[in-house]
C-alpha cells in the first residue's frame, strides 16, 4: 500500500479512503488511468514473476517502481523487463547440471582412497 501511495503521490490513508469508496480527484484520476493503461500492457506481455523484478535496479540502476514514481512512461521499460524475465525463466527451466561435469560415485570414492593411501 505504501508503494502504491508513493507512485500515486498521495498518502496511505488517501488510498484506503479510495478503496472505501471515496472518489479520487483531479490529477489522481489521470495518474490512475495512466498506470492502469501501463498495467494492462505489462499484463498483455505476460511477464513471468514481474513481482520479483519490480524493486530490482535493472533499468540503468533504477527499478520499475522508481520509474513509476516519475512522469516517465513505464511502458518504455517493458521490452527490457520482458527480456530479463524470459531469460531468468529459461535459466530456471534448465537442469542444474547444464555446463557442469558430473562425477560418478566411483570417481569420488577413488579420489578418497588415493588421498587416504597418500597420507599413509
List, in order, residues 6 or more apart from 42 with CB less than 8 Å away. Answer: 50, 74, 75, 78, 81
pLDDT reported for residue 117? 46
CA distances 70 to 49, 58, 74, 81, 103, Å, are: 23, 16, 9, 17, 52
pTM score: 0.69
Distance between CA atoms of 84 and 65, rounded to whole angstroms? Answer: 16
Per the prediction, the chain carries an average pLDDT of 84
Residues of the chain with pLDDT under 70: 96-108, 110-120
Q: Decide: 54 and 63 in contact? Cβ < 8 Å.
A: yes
Instruction: Give me the pLDDT at residue 2, please.
Output: 93
Residue 18 contacts residue 10 (beta carbons within 8 Å): no
CB atoms within 10 A of CB 38: 19
Place of cell 558430473: 102
Amino acid at each position: 500500500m505504501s508503494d502504491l501511495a508513493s507512485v500515486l503521490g498521495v498518502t496511505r490513508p488517501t488510498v484506503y479512503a479510495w478503496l472505501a469508496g471515496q472518489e479520487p480527484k483531479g490529477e489522481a484520476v489521470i495518474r490512475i488511468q495512466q498506470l492502469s493503461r501501463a498495467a494492462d500492457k505489462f499484463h498483455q506481455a505476460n511477464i513471468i514473476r514481474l513481482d520479483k523484478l519490480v524493486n530490482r535496479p535493472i533499468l540503468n540502476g533504477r527499478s520499475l517502481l522508481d520509474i513509476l514514481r516519475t512522469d516517465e512512461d513505464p511502458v518504455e521499460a517493458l521490452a527490457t523487463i520482458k527480456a530479463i524475465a524470459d531469460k531468468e525463466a529459461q535459466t530456471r527451466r534448465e537442469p542444474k547440471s547444464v555446463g557442469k561435469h558430473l562425477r560418478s560415485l566411483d570417481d569420488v570414492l577413488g579420489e578418497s582412497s588415493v588421498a587416504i593411501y597418500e597420507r599413509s
